[in-house]
Amino acid sequence: MSNPLSDLEKADVYFCIGSNMTECHPVAATRLKKALARGAKLIVVDPRYIQLAELADLYLPLRLGTDAALLLAMAHVIVREDLIDHKFVAERTANVEAFIEHVKPFTPEWAEGITGVPAKDIETAARWYGGADKASIYYTLGITEHISGVDNVQSLSNLALLTGHLGREGCGINPMRGQNNVQGVGDAGAAPSNYPGYQSVANPEIRAKFEKHYGRPLDPA
C-alpha cells in the first residue's frame, strides 16, 4: 500500500488554500518542504501572510470570502489556454461543456476586482497548476468554514477534474482536517447518517443498493 505522507512529496505543483499547514499539520508540512527542496512549486492562497506563505513561489493574499471568485478565474484561464486533460474529462466527467461556457465571463481581471489579487498572479497560478504533470490541492477549514464553503470545495474539485489531477500519485484534492480521521470516517460510511461516499441512509434507493451489496436488511433508524 502507498504511504500518504510519502505520496505528499511527489507533486510538481502544490496549491495550498485556506491551510496553515506548517502550524497545524507540521508532519505533513515536513514532506511538503522536502518536495520544495527538490524543486516543486508552491502556490499559497491565504488572507494572512502565514509561515507557509514565506515558502511560497507564488502568494495570493485574497480578500476574505472571495475564494470562489479566484477559483472561477483560474478555471477560466485553464479553459482559455486549453490546459484541459481532454481524455480524463471525456472518460470521467459530465456536463463539462456547460461548465466551460459558464466560466468564460470570469476573467482574471474580473476576479482581481473582487479578490484584490492581481490578474497576472491568478493567471500564473492557473498556468502552473493546469500545466503541471502532477499537481495537488491542499485545503483546510479556511475553505470550508464559510457560508460559501460548499461552493469553495466544488470549485476546487472542478479545477482538478478539468486538468485530470486526480487518481495518480502526487495529485488529488486533500483536505487537511481538524480532527483525527474525520475525513476517513465520512468517506468510509462510519457516520451514522450516511453510507460510504456520503450517501444518505434516509434515501430508500440508496438503502436498497447497500442492502443488496451487504446481503442483509438495513435499518435507516
* 2 pLDDT tier (thresholds 50, 70, 90): very low
Look at the chain and report how many structural domains it folds into: 1
**Polymer length of the chain:** 221
| Percentage of the chain exceeding pLDDT 90 | 76
What's the per-residue H, E or C state across 123-192?
HHHHHHHHHCCCEEEEECHHHHCCCCHHHHHHHHHHHHHHHCCCCCCCCEEEECCCCCCHHHHHHHCCCC
pLDDT tens sequence across 68-81: 999 999 999 999 99
Per-residue pLDDT reduced to its tens digit, 174-193: 988 766 667 677 777 788 88
- CA distance to 23, 39, 54, per residue, from 132 (Å): 27, 13, 22
Tell me the whole-structure pTM to 2 decimals: 0.83
Q: Is the pLDDT of residue 157 over 50?
A: yes
Cα Rg of the chain, angstroms: 18
CB atoms within 10 A of CB 143: 24
On the question of pLDDT at 128 being above 70, the answer is yes
Residue 192 located in a structural domain: no
**Cell numbers placing 71:** 477559483
- Beta strands 199-200 and 194-195 are antiparallel
CATH of the domain at 157: 3.40.228.10
pLDDT bracket for residue 84 (50, 70, 90)? very high
Q: Please report whether residue 32 resides in a domain.
A: yes
- Mean pLDDT, range 118-142, rounded to an integer: 96
Query: Residue 66 falls within a domain, yes or no?
Result: yes
167 located within any domain: yes
Domain containing 137 equals 4-175
Instruction: Give the pLDDT score at 4.
Output: 58
For residue 201, being part of any structural domain is answered with: no
Task: Report if residue 85 sits inside a domain.
Answer: yes
What tens digit of pLDDT does each residue of 44-68 get?
Answer: 999 999 999 999 999 999 999 999 9
Q: Does residue 217 belong to any structural domain of this protein?
A: no
- The answer to whether residue 187 sits within a structural domain is no
Q: Is the pLDDT of residue 3 over 60?
A: no
Task: Note whether 147 and 132 are within 8 A (CB).
Answer: no
pLDDT for position 187: 75
